[in-house]
Amino acid sequence: MNRIELNPEICNGKPVIRGTRISVQSILGFLSAGDSIDDVLAGYPQLAREDVLACLEYTRRLSEAHSTVRLAS
């Protein structure tokens, strides 16, 4: 996970690809819209395939951390 960073001074603390201002959210948005990894890399030539895969891994790990909150009725 050394390719993803969280810094309150960059993009309001959103997770980004290290050394860029490209957010994990942006990359996931392209992929979920149907773009391929190669499409993303063509649009962001400064990225490597491993950066895009790191976004997916970050999200996978985040989805494993869950909690349940009971709302007052």
Answer yes or no: is pLDDT of 2 > 70: yes
CA 33 to chain centre: 14
**pLDDT tens-digit map of 27-40:** 999 999 999 999 99
DSSP state for residue 70 in the 8-state scheme = P
Q: Please give the share of the chain, as a percent, with pLDDT higher than 70.
A: 93
One CATH from 3.40.50.620, 1.10.10.10, 1.10.580.10, 2.60.40.2250 for 4-64: 1.10.10.10
What is the distance between the alpha carbons of residues 72 and 26, in angstroms, rounded to a whole number?
A: 34
Asked if residues 10 and 21 have their Cβ atoms less than 8 Å apart, the reply is yes
d(CA 61, CA 48): 20
Verdict on whether the full-model pTM lies above 0.95 = no
Name the band, by pLDDT with cuts 50, 70 and 90, for residue 68. Answer: low
